[in-house]
A and B are shown apart, each in its own frame.
Chain A
Amino acid sequence: MEQTIVIEKGIFIVIIFAITMLMAMYATLAERKIAAWLQDRIGPNRAGKGGILQPLADGLKLFAKEEFFPNTPNKFLFIAGPAISMSTALMTSAVIPWGDKLHLFGRDIILQATDINVAMLFIFAVLSIGVYGIMIGGWASNNKFSLMSAMRAASQMISYEVAMGLAIIALVMMTGTLSLREMAAQQSGMNWNVFYQPVGFLIFLVCSFAETNRTPFDLAECEAELIGGYHTEYSSMKMGFYLFAEYASMFISSTILAVLYFGAYNYPGMQWAEENWGVNIANIIGIVVLFAKLCFFIFFYMWVRWTIPRFRYDQLMRLGWQMLIPLAIANIVVTGIVILLTQ
């Protein structure tokens, strides 16, 4: 029994890893395609049919590039930067419930790598480590632009984490649990959290943009003033890792948004499907539904990126500290009052 669970989880983790990588790969293509479409262009369409092989071509190009090291005192940290970014981007997927359960080979397989009861805290912890990847990379580059970008990224992430945490507190007060699996289960049917926590969702959404360093909060890569930000000194696959980590974390944060606020793998009629078509089919539909939701969020990230310009640094800080945090606190107060009154 012990062995089978190790094998089962092992296989599951490998699959999740592969899917994350695949999604991140094709997110790069999707980004270019959507950017093109929103700007009345066609986008990459030369590699493969409709540009379907473009991510492979890009990856191949990055692999073939020269490995360049700046004259930095600490080569180890220079390599550690992208590695940390990448691993933190992938780590969060461990606690995400990708579906309820499958019934295969006479046993129930829970579609989650690990169901820890403090999943929410785990996600926050890992997200906070994510900033180290940028910080270390920017510092080890021995370049003032990289360092400035790293400082910006750090202060931005720290300030938005506060608002994000406060938004989540209201949600946790409502659900009464930190486990993502239970949160997902509570949202069965159309009982999605977004209907109860619209303000919290909005704050969380804005903060996710900031946490993943996406436009309008991509001040860290601000090419107009900081060359390429912390990317400046990187080349070859180390650069690729940074870019890839951004898309991987976008995928993961879309998943978190879908799980926390948009009912995870739940869809209306899931109970009925389970009774009539069996557990497996109902849950496979659930997984597809979850992926549809998170693909929408990935699209939304890109849609926003090609709609609004980057915030100025002072606007960013004002939005974080003076708007979102008071709003999040007000949200907590209102949620608390409503919970008190309804009990």
Chain B
Amino acid sequence: MSIETISLSGRKKEVSNKKMSFWESLYLVAIVKGLLITIRHLFKRKVTIKYPDQTRELSPVYRGQHMLMRDEEGRERCTACGLCALSCPAEAITMKAEERKPEEKHLYREEKYASIYEINMLRCIFCGLCEEACPKQAIYLTKSRVMVKPSSDREDFIYGKEKLVMPLDMAIKNTQMKTAN
């Protein structure tokens, strides 16, 4: 097989420089063909999603903003084992562990808890490995559409516990739902 006849895609076309006949050079047939193609598009369903009014459905594996969960009694689940930080490929997570005092039993589930838990949102790649690593089911990536808010200050992107821990009223609502069921 010579090189001229090889066509991997099967759609190879020879370029021809043949002279156009009078009718061809009026372009009429070509234009009519083109018009028929475009008019077909006029009646096609448009694929646009009108964004602010409509939103696209989230993928079932969508991973959004992190959340440190509370258990049914509203206590923080995190025990500051550091496995999330260890598993994080972007090294976005840092934490400081502290021992739970007897009077804090209603606040933390485990005997050790994270007094500081920070995720650097500029580093985070939302891979979800922290969620997989967590033995206490404490950290989850939510379905929240609200991603990291813009800011001109880098410090603002380091999310502390005040932003990460599940709000109490949400925990209360979850527990109520569970007991109702």
B25 CB to nearest chain A CB (Å): 6
Q: Min CB distance, A78 to chain B, in Å?
A: 37
Is A37 in contact with B42, judged by CB distance below 8 angstroms? Answer: yes
- Shortest distance in angstroms between B75's beta carbon and chain A's nearest beta carbon? 49
Given contacts A38-B42, A41-B48, A42-B46, list 20 more A-B pairs with CB under 8 A: A34-B42, A37-B42, A38-B38, A39-B41, A40-B41, A40-B47, A42-B48, A303-B35, A303-B38, A303-B39, A306-B38, A307-B34, A307-B37, A307-B38, A308-B31, A318-B25, A319-B25, A319-B26, A323-B26, A327-B26
Q: With A and B bound together, what is the CA distance between A38 and B28 in angstroms?
A: 20
Closest 6 CB pairs of A and B: A307-B38, A307-B34, A38-B38, A42-B48, A37-B42, A307-B35
Closest to B35 in A: A307
Q: In the bound complex, what is the Cα–Cα distance between A318 and B48 (angstroms)?
A: 41
A190 in contact (CB, < 8 A) = no
Q: Could you pull out 14 A-B pairs where Cβ atoms are within 8 angstroms?
A: A37-B46, A38-B42, A40-B44, A40-B46, A41-B46, A42-B50, A45-B50, A303-B38, A303-B39, A304-B31, A319-B26, A319-B27, A323-B22, A323-B25
Q: Mark A24-44, 1 if CB is under 8 A from B, else 0.
A: 000000000010011111100
Chain A residues within CB distance 8 Å of chain B: 34, 37-42, 45, 202, 303-304, 306-308, 318-319, 323, 327
B74 to chain A, nearest CB (A): 45
| B1-43 with Cβ < 8 A to chain A | 22, 25-28, 31, 34-35, 37-39, 41-42
Docked complex Cα distance between A38 and B27 (Å):
21
Q: How many pairs, one residue from A and one from B, have CB atoms within 8 Å of each other in the complex? A: 42
Q: Given B31, B34, B35, B41, which contacts A37 in the complex, CB threshold below 8 Å?
A: B41
Interface size range on B against A: 10 to 19
| Residue of A whose beta carbon sits closest to that of B48 | A42
In the assembled complex, the Cα of A318 lies from the Cα of B46 at a distance in Å of: 39
Q: Collect the chain B residues with CB atoms within 8 Å of residue A45's CB.
A: 50
Q: Tell which of A38, A202, A318, A323 touches B41, judged by Cβ atoms closer than 8 Å.
A: A38
Question: Mostly helix, strand, loop or mixed at chain A's interface?
Answer: helix
Chain B residues with CB below 8 A from A202, complex form: 28
Query: A304 contacts which chain B residues (CB < 8 A)?
Result: 31, 35
Closest Cβ neighbor of A42 among chain B residues: B48
Cα-based distance from A304 to B36 in the complex (angstroms): 10
Contacts of B39 in A (CB 8 A): 38, 303
CB distance from A130 to the nearest CB of B (A): 25
Q: Which of B94-125 contact A (CB under 8 A)?
A: none
Interchain CA distance A39-B47 in the complex, whole Å: 11
Residues of chain A within 8 A (CB-CB) of B41 are 37-40
Complexed CA–CA distance, A202 and B55 (Å): 47
CA gap between A197 and B159 in the complex, in Å: 77
Residues in chain A near residue B34, CB distance under 8 A: 307-308
What distance in Å separates the Cβ of B47 from its nearest Cβ neighbour in chain A? 6
Bound Cα distance from A41 to B42, whole angstroms? 9
Bound state CA distance, A327 and B23, in angstroms? Answer: 11
Q: Which residues of B contact A38 (CB under 8 A)?
A: 38-39, 41-42
User: Using Cβ atoms and an 8 Å threshold, which residues of chain A touch B42?
Assistant: 34, 37-38
Q: Closest CB-CB distance, B33 to chain A, in whole Å?
A: 10
Q: Which of B34-78 contact A (CB under 8 A)?
A: 34-35, 37-39, 41-42, 44, 46-48, 50
CA distance A303 to B38 in the complex (A): 8
- Report the minimum CB–CB distance from B170 to chain A (whole Å): 36
Residue in A37, A45, A307, A319 whose Cβ sees the most chain B Cβ within 10 Å: A307
